[in-house]
Structure 1
């Protein structure tokens, strides 16, 4: 059975009624439910009553007052708070970071070993390279990552420039080749060459293309020229530029190139009158064009 009893601290607290059937009588013990900490055991039983006087004296009251023990103090003390310094936190963080970096580097090395294997498809190799790059970037600081991104952007930009430059060079080469072909073909037609292709094979290696500028020094086009060397009266030499038309005209008068042109002289195609016994003047004072016409190579003396 459970009852309540007024506690000294105020309010009712529950207690148990426990019968004891020993020695032919009933003792009743009251056990108060302690709250909080373990209560100490109550004090001993009360003093027995004084024996009654002989005769008619009544027996003394045998029941002493039960002693109430004070409850023990409840509640244990809390555990000690753990405290970490910033240095401790930094050390733990570095240890974890080093462990992560070490594991990531092992993965990178393994991926690179796979990449070196032969027989990989282009797609598989590209995927491996992407994984390697991403893994390497995960080990970088923010500054290192930015630098790597700039490097990749510069590489892509450089490759794009190389492609554009190659295209521009190809277009320029095609333009120059066509410009020379047109100039030589026009001269060949004008001066009666047998075949323009034959004349082109001889003349084109000696030609070059130069810009044509306006009065403001702006390039407005290009001309094809042939550079020859002339010797002046004082013995010095100078370089002179001839147009393709001028050079082909001089070639037509040169016996060395007679077979390239249709002859209008007596004797059939390719015929040129001989020059034996014909004075040709002072060679040192002749211009390059005159030398060609006289049967000499430009820039040389006989």
Structure 2
């Protein structure tokens, strides 16, 4: 992968009144990678998206896209960005092609150049055969594809998307990510905000946000491997009491999450056998699993992801 930075985010801070939304976020996004901004609601990822998209002024810190500074050269930054919002941005009463034509003109495209770009992007995202359809007659997945085609008309360097799979069914969500991966393979840099753990696994790299700060930044596999071993999950009617008993027996850190007792293990089979033998009447169910991104979030924040 290219190690050249397409975007540099340095010590970004943002407040809404007295509330801190971002508390010193620093990230570099490499050219030709998909970076996922993962976090629960209120973590700061949408605020960061808006700052990246030059939709809000930067209060403190800096963002550069290529060589352009977002605070001093917002127009130069916008010229390098394709933006897809969480809420649909297409005019639903117009045809797909009409939406793209009007959007292209906003970027100074016209005539044969605009027609060629529309043809190319509709083909790239698999909606060329729906170009004459009224947008509101399309499924959510097809509307998202049309929005991607629209965002790519001016040949952006970076594609920035805010919760792009919101409202899509699983099949449409998978299709969306396949198309993002294909665009990335052609050299496009992609930044996606999401609160879906399964979706975040598809990114090349994840920056996990909580409380306006980056609490983890690495590939999904590396983040999961940082937990170490397997995860044992015990279901019981008395989670706090069982957790304390397991701590005393194994001399290991044990957590209670959603009334489930959880612990990490380097030898899950042996620990499972020991616990079932020691507490046969107190454990109603025991499962062994590989560490997940939710485990990563909990290990870094001490909180459940959906909180």
- Whether these two folds match at TM > 0.5 is no
Higher strand share: 2
- The higher radius of gyration belongs to 1
**TM-score, normalised relative to structure 2:** 0.20
Higher helix share: 1
RCO comparison, higher one (Cα < 8 Å, 6+): 2
